[in-house]
Amino acid sequence: MDISALGEFELIARLTAGLATRAAGDVGIGDDCALLDLGSGDLLLATCDCQVEGVHFTLQTSSPEHIGRKALAINLSDIAAMGGTPRYALVSLLLPPHLSVDVLDGIYAGLRAEAQRFDTTIVGGNIAGTGAAQQLVIDITLLGTVARGHAILRSGARVGDLICVTGSLGDSAAGLQTFLRPATDAVLPHDLQALRGRHTAPLPRVHEGQLLASFKAGQITAMLDISDGLSGDLTHLCERSGCGARVDLATIPLSTPLSHVAQALQHDPLDWALHGGEDYELLFTLQLPSLDEVRTALQEQCGTPLTVIGEIQPLSAGLTLAHSNGHTEPLHAHSWDHLKPKK
């Protein structure tokens, strides 16, 4: 059997079964970051994610600066998803032998700019050659902190909680498609630029995550960032929380450029929003009485819209998609799996 028979998440479960945690309050595998109690006031957050040439980016479609920015941004997004503050980064580079120094200078300029923007210090890393393989890899480990008792895990959602997202979904996937498909003549330059920007240079919701973590315990009940796609990431949240969920299709926030490009490329925008991935928006659940307070704070302090897209259901209800005519269907996770590439 090869690893593609298992898929990414079955493989993680197999490799990590039975691993111990050090302290009683620690959360190891299964959330956006490990949450570690070193005994001081704040808890430590630790995460790593990589960008692989040809899998996450190409040098033809992203500038070196954007590649560097995104490599850090996707890790910042995992710290944001816990409600934490990013602190220190370690940057491991796997370099093909003939890579141009200018390209790498550009990547590092983007990395440094993103680090400065989010007050993160690069404190180390590593360089190794890729040998015969020609793909550039940037693998970043990011450490952060979160005040004791304020981290928001994937596991706290309860029946009746509202399911919310920041910003809009599907833009990044649509932006990627405009690179892959030749028929982009019909797309307005302004729309093209907006969607490609969200794909190549996503903005991690660090301030929004910190704001959400500042509410009283129990107001925001669970959170993760959308990297693989709404359908898959909501499935992760429900698995960790032991619940089901109903997503109301008509409420999923779609941007105007997304609607335009979907029309031009004759693609259902909801497919990108549900399964596309790399949105790096926050998906979180909250208790109904907190909705107005949280929505107002996000808008006023971050300028970020909150949209309610559904409600947490009992485990037995599974995950469902509700159409505006009342028809419901099961919501399957068709989003990104590294070991089962489909796109």
Ligand X SMILES: Cc1ncc(C[n+]2csc(CCOP(=O)(O)OP(=O)(O)O)c2C)c(N)n1
Kindly identify the residues of this chain, within the stretch 40-59, that bind ligand X according to CB under 6 A: 49, 55-58
Report the alpha-carbon distance of residue 90 to residue 101 in Å, rounded: 20
Kindly identify the residues of this chain, within the stretch 35-64, that bind ligand ADP according to CB under 6 A: 49
Report the alpha-carbon distance of residue 17 to residue 71 in Å, rounded: 28
CB-based burial, 267-282: b 16+ in 10 Å, e otherwise: bebbbbbbbbbbbbbb
280 labelled binding-site residue: no
258 interacts with, out of ligand X, Mg ion, ligand ADP, none, CB within 5 to 8 A per kind: none
State which H helix or E strand residue 106 sits in. Answer: helix 101-117
The minimum distance between CB 79 and Mg ion, in angstroms, equals 13
CB 163 within 8 A of CB 285: yes
Sheet holding 137-147, edge to edge: 34-36, 42-52, 137-147, 85-95, 121-129
Q: Does 114 bind ligand X (CB under 6 A)?
A: no
Is 49 or 311 the residue whose CB approaches ligand X more closely? 49
Contact code string over 214-233 relative to ligand ADP, x by CB under 6 A: -------------x------
278 interacts with, out of ligand X, Mg ion, ligand ADP, none, CB within 5 to 8 A per kind: ligand X
Q: Does 29 bind ligand ADP (CB under 6 A)?
A: yes
32 labelled binding-site residue: yes
Stretch touching ligand ADP by CB under 6 A, among 26-34, 107-115, 162-170, 305-313: 26-34
Which residue in the set 6, 30, 108, 197 belongs to the binding site for ligand ADP (CB under 6 A)?
30
Stretch touching ligand ADP by CB under 6 A, among 27-35, 211-219, 261-269, 312-320: 27-35
Q: What is the dihedral of CA 148, 293, 74, 228, to 10 degrees?
A: 110
29 interacts with, out of Mg ion, ligand X, ligand ADP, none, CB within 5 to 8 A per kind: ligand ADP
The minimum distance between CB 160 and Mg ion, in angstroms, equals 30
Residues 6+ apart with CB under 8 A from 205: 77, 80, 166, 167, 225, 280, 281, 282, 302, 304
Report the alpha-carbon distance of residue 207 to residue 190 in Å, rounded: 27
278 labelled binding-site residue: yes
CB 202 within 8 A of CB 278: yes
Q: Does 278 bind Mg ion (CB under 5 A)?
A: no
Block residue for tokens 């928006």: 281
225 labelled binding-site residue: yes
Q: Does 336 bind ligand X (CB under 6 A)?
A: yes
Q: Does 139 bind ligand ADP (CB under 6 A)?
A: no
In total, the chain counts a number of residues equal to 343
Which residue in the set 4, 5, 10, 12 belongs to the binding site for ligand ADP (CB under 6 A)?
12
Nearest Cα residue to 237 out of 293, 130, 335, 153: 153
State which H helix or E strand residue 113 sits in. Answer: helix 101-117
Q: Does 281 bind ligand X (CB under 6 A)?
A: no
Within a 10 A sphere around the Cβ of 109, how many other Cβ atoms?
A: 14
Kindly identify the residues of this chain, within the stretch 3-62, that bind Mg ion according to CB under 5 A: 49
Residue ranges binding ligand X (CB under 6 A): 49, 55-58, 74, 176, 227-228, 277-278, 336, 338
Residue ranges binding ligand ADP (CB under 6 A): 12, 15-16, 29-32, 49, 78, 227
Give binding residues for substrate as ranges: 56, 278, 336
